[in-house]
Chains A and B, each alone.
Chain A
Amino acid sequence: MLLKIKRVPTVVSNYQKDETVEEGGCGRNCLSKCCIDGATLPLYTCKNLNKSIGEKSEAPGKFLESLVLGEWEDRFQRGLFRYDVTACETKVIPGKYGFIAQLNEGRHLKKRPTEFRVDKVLQPFDGNKFNFTKVGQEELLFQFEASNDDNDSGIQLFPSIPLEADDSPSVVAINVSPIEYGHVLLIPRVLDCLPQRIDHKSLLLALQMATEAANPYFRLGYNSLGAFATINHLHFQAYYLAMQFPIEKASSLKITSTNDGVKISKLLNYPVRGLLFEGGNSIKDLSDTVSDASVCLQNNNIPFNILISDSGRQIFLLPQCYAEKQALGEVCSELLDTQVNPAVWEMSGHMVLKRKDDYEEASEAKAWRLLAEVSLSEERFKEVNTMIFEAIGLSSHEVAEEEEEEQTSMNSGFIRVHCPSVKEEEACI
């Protein structure tokens, strides 16, 4: 039985039409073979990546931020967005966690819904469907590259670099249906036409962007197929919201650490069950661990979302099962009627609501209830964790022991502290 749900896909590009209709010819100034010859785009290269925390200057972060905001505002004033997102009312819902609600009636088209297959997290790229080679070049802001190896000049932004397939460029594009100001898409190796699935290189690029931006209010997110990604072409999303997400306020309980120093915790007191990854001896260690975990979920057909938070220091991995429940008719109509699709932003506590009533009556209890439906059950979550730890190379036996230790030390009179042998770094201010 093929599991499908009906959804109105979000339009992220002005060139996104009915997916099944393929128009011949172009003249749309896109990224496909028809238009790409001679196309150029500014190229941004990172500077901040290998420095330790004390050395990092604010300057590269501000530079990337100025580039993103400046280019975004330019497209905004040129009318490239489907609506003015700053005209959408938004508020923080009173309560312990401060869920953020937005009334956005224009985000979702009133066109007829398409069928989405939700039972397969891994699906091959289909060039006939909408993908990012079909966006207009004006929707692209700049190319993004992490390494600066060949470049001794210290220059970070090259104003005009040709887009060539051989270079495998990664690009940052606008999302024409933004959730917030500055909503962009990071599309790794756009011309390689990768399907929506996590691979080590791409997640690293996303993490590098978060680190380079050096702004805790600029987060990156990822939705797998089956976890409300609508386009099967590898992409991450990002935007600015200058306050904490509810998920960032949730407490966590350490489960274990990897050999590379990556600490893995589980979320507590939050409606969604998930894992939090942080630390690591390098950005790459952190990224690789999360990639290993994601690949495991993908291979086991478990949909999930990823939130990269705190300027790349924290990564939330959130498996979910809402789409499957929907397809099997297990979601109550009250929740379905809100038409909220719990993608990564919703899972993090930022809810975009289509109906005024839902917005006016939004409450922490309702948000909690919706997200609790989306979350895996406790047993299923434990199963999934076991799979993940095995994939990361931690024997589940070790992990269970550590968990037990934590538990018993909690219950007894002694509280044992994990004192890592920290190298004495000179504290730098």
Chain B
Amino acid sequence: MSLAEESSVVSVFTEEEEESLNRRYTLWIKEALDELPHNFTITDPFLSGHPIVFASLGFLKMTGYSRAEVIGRNGKFFQGPKTNRRSIMEIREAIREERSVQVSLLNYRKSGSPFWMLFHMIPVFGRDDGKVINFVAVQVPISGRDHHRKLTSVGDDVSSLDHSEFVFGSCRREVCFGNFVQHRALPVECDDDEQGLEDWEYCEASESEKLRAVEAINNVLSVLTRYSELSGRLVCGKRYCLRGVDCLSSSLVISLGRIKQSFVLTNPCIPDMPIIYASDAFLTLTGYKRHEVLGQNCRFLSGVDTDSSVLYEMKECILKGQSCTVQILNYSNRKDKSTFWNLLHISPVRNASGKTAYFVGVQVEASCRNTESKELRPETKQLSVVGAVRVAVRSSFMVTC
């Protein structure tokens, strides 16, 4: 990319993404992380799209991107057609289960060229509430050469090596990916240099590369821990307490973040039924910031001219555990402080226990009804949000490590 093109790249990240680390770890955190020599990224699962909120200089050099091009992206951004599907699934499930994973992965540079690296990711927990605050991922490029040399030295009996422990790191029961390790580990008749590497179905990291990954993870974690002490909101690599019941798991938040329409989740089991999740679209529609709405009852959207009989109708439905659709006048916090007619649908949502855990409220601004999707009926679109929330909530039950 020419310099001229580079300078015109538009940043894709939001203010929330830019500030994510500063809020938790103080303003000094990025400087401290920049002093580490490793390749790593840090993501924030509580922001929509599970974006990268920090990328080390080493990572940028390895991939050829600038910081502005990486912050705000999801990790998928670096995958491509030859990236192994199983590895992608492994990572996705580790995120969903809030545990660590170590797997070889083929990624793509800005230039388009692929490269193999050892991907080692861990969750970082809040010490007091057991929530996943961030995921830290370290990327160690794999040369393939070390391992090749090691295994063809005289006397090595490949079949006796316990391959299963090579592939997976801490906190993960061994699932034998026999095929990958035993059959695709080394080229003997292929090109020995890196050029041929991307044609491999799998590429195993050497012992030293694995050690480097662990060392890097520990270094990053220790910087984060130290700076979290400064801000008073400690983090650590282990979960010290069970996540509170009113805390949504990071994986549920990630799933909900894929739903692009305006909706909120409220908790009917907590007094005054507060909002525990609000989609980005909801914030845009109502003009409020996330921290202004979380923990509040939805009534802040009502005002002088809101029909109280409609509010009563909603309350009755909630008490009976029923769905309903109402048309209600809402007051926004947008610049013009305008009111809008909200075609609101609410419905109880059960979790894996089978009991009602939340209520979902899906807002459609009446005047926007016809512009959103020309093909799907507005009613269907609204109900699809309910359905997507049901799938996300029901599926967010996890295996304990």
Instruction: Answer yes or no: are A and B bound together in one complex.
Output: yes
Interface residues of A (CB under 8 A from B): 52-54, 62-63, 65-74, 77, 84, 86-92, 94-98, 155-157, 159, 180-182, 216-217, 240-244, 248-249, 251-254, 265, 268-269, 310, 313-314, 406, 409-420, 422, 425-429
**Contact of A241 with B200 in the complex, beta carbons under 8 Å:** no
Q: CA of A91 to CA of B352 in the docked complex: distance in angstroms?
A: 7
A419: contacting residue among B89, B187, B380, CB under 8 A: B187
Q: CA of A313 to CA of B88 in the docked complex: distance in angstroms?
A: 13
**Given A74-B379, A242-B255, A242-B391, list of 10 further CB < 8 A pairs?**
A63-B376, A65-B388, A66-B376, A66-B381, A87-B355, A96-B173, A314-B85, A422-B82, A428-B80, A429-B78
**Contact of B81 with A52 in the complex, beta carbons under 8 Å:** yes
* Distance (whole angstroms) from the CB of B186 to the closest CB of chain A: 5
Q: Does B178 sit within 8 A of A, measured CB to CB?
A: yes
A411: contacting residue among B77, B159, B376, B390, CB under 8 A: B159
Q: CA of A159 to CA of B380 in the docked complex: distance in angstroms?
A: 12
**Contact of A410 with B173 in the complex, beta carbons under 8 Å:** no
Q: Does B335 sit within 8 A of A, measured CB to CB?
A: no
Cβ contacts under 8 Å, B157 to chain A: 413
A-B CB proximity, top 8 nearest: A69-B387, A242-B395, A70-B384, A70-B380, A66-B384, A73-B383, A157-B375, A73-B387
Q: Does B108 sit within 8 A of A, measured CB to CB?
A: yes
Q: Does B6 sit within 8 A of A, measured CB to CB?
A: no
Contacts A242-B391, A427-B112 given; indicate if A417 touches B184 (C-beta within 8 A): yes
Contacts A73-B387, A428-B81 given; indicate if A417 touches B376 (C-beta within 8 A): no
**Contact of B352 with A89 in the complex, beta carbons under 8 Å:** yes
Interface residues of B (CB under 8 A from A): 77-82, 85, 89, 93, 96, 108, 112-114, 151-152, 156-159, 173-180, 182-190, 196, 199-201, 255, 260, 323, 347, 349-350, 352-355, 373, 375-377, 379-384, 386-388, 390-392, 394-400
* Distance (whole angstroms) from the CB of A351 to the closest CB of chain B: 15
A92: contacting residue among B200, B380, B390, B397, CB under 8 A: B397
Contacts A253-B179, A422-B199 given; indicate if A427 touches B113 (C-beta within 8 A): yes
Cβ contacts under 8 Å, A159 to chain B: 375, 377
Please name 7 pairs of A and B residues whose Cβ atoms are closer than 8 Å in the assembled complex, sorted by A.
A62-B260, A70-B384, A242-B391, A415-B158, A415-B182, A417-B187, A426-B112
* Distance (whole angstroms) from the CB of B245 to the closest CB of chain A: 17
A241: contacting residue among B80, B177, B377, B395, CB under 8 A: B395
Cβ contacts under 8 Å, B350 to chain A: 84, 86-87
**Contact of B108 with A427 in the complex, beta carbons under 8 Å:** yes
A70: contacting residue among B89, B180, B387, B397, CB under 8 A: B387
**Contact of B384 with A65 in the complex, beta carbons under 8 Å:** yes
**Contact of A406 with B183 in the complex, beta carbons under 8 Å:** yes
Contacts A91-B397, A94-B400 given; indicate if A413 touches B156 (C-beta within 8 A): yes
Contacts A69-B383, A90-B352, A98-B399 given; indicate if A415 touches B394 (C-beta within 8 A): no
**Contact of A251 with B190 in the complex, beta carbons under 8 Å:** no
Closest to A266 in B: B179
* Distance (whole angstroms) from the CB of A92 to the closest CB of chain B: 5
**Contact of B391 with A70 in the complex, beta carbons under 8 Å:** no
Cβ contacts under 8 Å, B82 to chain A: 422, 427
**Contact of B392 with A413 in the complex, beta carbons under 8 Å:** no
Contacts A73-B387, A240-B391 given; indicate if A96 touches B174 (C-beta within 8 A): yes
Contacts A66-B380, A240-B391 given; indicate if A216 touches B190 (C-beta within 8 A): no
Closest to A96 in B: B173
Contacts A216-B89, A417-B188 given; indicate if A181 touches B352 (C-beta within 8 A): no
Cβ contacts under 8 Å, A251 to chain B: 175-180
